[in-house]
Amino acid sequence: MKKILTIGATVMIIAALAIGSTLAFLTGKTDALENKFLFDGITLELNEYKDTGHQEAYPEDPQVVYPGAVVDKVPVITVDKGSLDCYVYVQIENGLNTAVDGATTLDISKDWTPIKKGYDIYRYKEVVQKADTAQKLTDIFTKVTVNGEKVTMENIAKLQDSQITIQGFAHQANGTGDTEAERQAFADQAALTYFATPVNP
């Protein structure tokens, strides 16, 4: 009886070894396949000049103006190289006009259009494509004209601490809709949310 059990155990061990060897021959593996994704971003620069050639920086000190004055003021947005395809926006908060209605006019370029009538948020004329070099967009405006009829001795003091504030914003152009209209609408809404409170220029 003992002898039979010993033989049985030996057979089981041999069978186990045989199965183990068979499994080793049937396994296999591949090298890891690495799917790499690069998440680029969008970076902008906003600069101001006194000339359309962008040679002379606009002074930081307040400029002396008077009724009828025309001030050379040239804000321009640059999309840095390598930035993703994007819609570019700018908000122009004209504090001079808030202080005195119609105090100034800006010769805003036709390449920048309001995203909604009466809003101070403007969208650039086209999607700015990714490029290997920085891209200067069209000057937002080039002159500020002080209205000699609206600005008078009686109200000029209201303009003393007023200013024009400009701010840029960009939103990715891809992956936000199936059509150009959907993608643009999505980006417009993002701009409205970013700037929070659009006001009349």
Cβ partners under 8 Å of residue 168, min gap 6: 44, 46, 77, 88, 89, 90
Contact 169, 90 (CB under 8 A): yes
pLDDT of residue 64: 82
pLDDT of 13 above 50: no
Q: What is the DSSP letter of 82?
A: T
- Minimal CA–CA distance to 184: which of 137, 144, 126? 126
Average pLDDT, the chain: 83
- Distance, in Å, from the CA atom of 135 to the CA atom of 81, rounded to the nearest integer, reads 7
Residue 190 pLDDT exceeds 50: yes
Q: List pLDDT tens digits, range 59-75.
A: 888 888 888 999 999 99
Q: What is the pTM for the complete model shown?
A: 0.79
**DSSP secondary structure, 159-179, as one string:** GTT--EEEEEEEEE-SSS-SS
DSSP H helices in the chain: 2-26, 95-99, 180-195
Question: What pLDDT is stored for residue 63 in this prediction?
Answer: 81
* Residues 85, 40 contacting (CB under 8 angstroms): no
Amino acid 40: pLDDT: 63
pLDDT digits (tens, 9 = 90+) for 19-69: 444 445 666 666 666 665 555 689 999 999 999 999 999 988 888 888 899
**What pLDDT band is residue 199 in, cutting at 50, 70 and 90?**
low
Q: Facing residues of 87 across strands?
A: 171
SS3 121: strand
CB hemisphere CA count around 175 (13 angstroms) = 5
What token pair was written down for 46? 């906003």
